[in-house]
A and B are shown apart, each in its own frame.
Chain A
Amino acid sequence: MAYSDDIRKMYKDTLQGIMDAGLFKQERFIHSPQAAEIDVEFPIGAPLKRVINICANNYLGLSSHPEVVKAAHEGLDSRGYGMSSVRFICGCQDIHKELEARLTEFLGTEDTVLFPSCMDANAGVFEAILTKDDVMISDRLVHASLIDGIRLASALHDTYKHNDMEHLEQKLQLHADKRQKLVICDGVFSMDGDTAKLDEMVALCEKYNAMILVDDSHSSGFIGKTGRGTHEKYGVMGKIDVITTTFGKGLGGASGGCVSGRRELVEMCRQKARPYLFSNTMAPVIVAGVLKVMDLIMHNTERRDKLERNTEFWRKGLTEAGFVLKDGDTPIVPVMLFNAKLSQDVSRDLFHEGVYAIGFFFPVVPQGAARIRTQVSAGHEMHHLEKALDAFIKVGKKYEILGKTKAEIIERYGN
């Protein structure tokens, strides 16, 4: 037996350390489809409680949309369950190519390749398109999956301060001698809900002959007038060299991701990206579902318009109630509590009031920046948001944080 008592003890102690630090992640079990209202078993063994979900990435409310579910059923019947192969051996169906073409059209790019997830897209793209003669310059707040992909690449890596264009320009100058320069950011930053200034960034990239990669996972389908993403919002469609995005959030919420952009760069991913070469791609049933999502949003902005209205209502309501929010105009609305324990307490009390929202604290967000990250959905009706707002106000009153500034909250609860 190689797994000796000593080895077991070491891992047990490590886990205990995570628990003692209050960082142990506990799942809550949902017994219903993902939607604005869900049935939750929490704590484990407790009777089911119906709550309003305000922390899903279900931005367009399509996760359990009847037409998407129906299309997935039909896809299952017509194309089967699994491919039992990676793409380039015998794992590519007509519908995979069809979805890639639809995405290229939707995102306004030259070509697209699917990945099992956006995590995989980000893990594979950098090493596929860059070499050790190149440099990657990333925003300091990019998503963990980009950081992992950057670590897997042999190109030099440097960072610039979050959304600081002057600092980015300095870095472009510092690395001017590198063969290729790739600037990397999230379109919408997942923890803060702010957006990258893509118009200024594209201008800088043009000035210094650099390429730009944007992870639009929290934007695709709803940011911009017709929901194309952050590049549409900033008027730079066609100028982003690589977009990576996920189907695990707004675009149906199941799973899968892609790299979309310049024809040659996408082709390099097909030839070299390891998650594409060595892992099965999206199952046919999911491809069929995402194709239906594309049908629903390609020429119809109803859902993203509703999401925009809901977001406005939600931000305004929380602001008027006296909460401290992170500025922005995206459906990611962080309610700042600063103290880790306070974020846990508020989350627990909200659950009692019938609202499911999770507290985030270090190391997911910086020390002293604990928060409840709320996320608005087009699946929310006004009565959901009104009820959720009432719950937030009730709990906010209990902890006497309404109308208080950051400094006052920290003074009372610590950070």
Chain B
Amino acid sequence: MDANMKDIVLKYVIDEYLEDDSETLTYDSPLISGGIVDSFSMVSLKRFLENKYSISIPDADATPEAFDTVNKICVLVEKFAGK
């Protein structure tokens, strides 16, 4: 997997959702089940990925589970980037 992509996604999540700079996140931190990203705000993350990687993620695939960690998000992006 593109290591670069992980860092780009992680940075986006930190900039977008963390209000407090002292919190830390890893590639495996639970984002949605951990309450960092509410399912309402997933929208901007999805749009960011779609724009950035020129892909389209169908709503049926944009589930809270598939978006729960940076690692899982990158798997999802790669799945659609290959198409």
Show the binding face of A for B, using Cβ within 8 Å: 156-159, 161, 171, 174-175
Interface residues in B5-37 (C-beta closer than 8 Å to A): 19
A175–B41 touching, CB < 8 Å: no
Interface size class of B (residues with CB under 8 A): under 10
- Distance (whole angstroms) from the CB of B73 to the closest CB of chain A: 17
A-B contact pairs, 17 of them (CB 8 A): A156-B43, A157-B40, A157-B43, A158-B41, A158-B43, A158-B44, A158-B47, A159-B40, A159-B41, A159-B44, A161-B19, A171-B44, A174-B44, A174-B47, A174-B48, A174-B51, A175-B47
Other A-B contacts than A159-B41, A171-B44, A174-B44, 10 sampled, CB-CB below 8 A, are A156-B43, A157-B43, A158-B41, A158-B47, A159-B40, A159-B44, A174-B47, A174-B48, A174-B51, A175-B47
Hey, which chain B residues are within 8 Å of A175, CB to CB? 47
Bound-state CA distance A158–B16 (Å) is 11
Determine the chain A residues whose CB is within 8 A of the CB of B41 once the complex forms: 158-159
B40: chain A residues within 8 A (beta carbon): 157, 159
- Kindly list chain B residues whose C-beta atoms are within 8 Å of the C-beta of A156: 43
Q: Which residues of A contact B43 (CB under 8 A)?
A: 156-158
Closest residue of chain B to A159 (Cβ to Cβ) is B41
A158 to B37: give the CA distance in the assembly, Å.
Answer: 12
Min distance, Cβ B55 to any Cβ of chain A, angstroms: 15
Cα-based distance from A375 to B19 in the complex (angstroms): 27
Task: Report B24 CB to chain A, min CB distance, Å.
Answer: 19
CA distance A289 to B42 in the complex (A): 45
A-side contacts of B44, CB under 8 Å: 158-159, 171, 174
Per the bound structure, the CA–CA distance linking A161 and B14 in Å amounts to 13
Centre residue among A157, A159, A161, A171 by max chain B CB count within 10 A: A159
User: How far apart are A381's CB and chain B's nearest CB, in angstroms?
Assistant: 40
B56 CB to nearest chain A CB (Å): 12
**Looking across the interface, which residue of chain A has its beta carbon closest to that of B51?**
A174
Give min CB distance, A197 to chain B, whole Å: 18
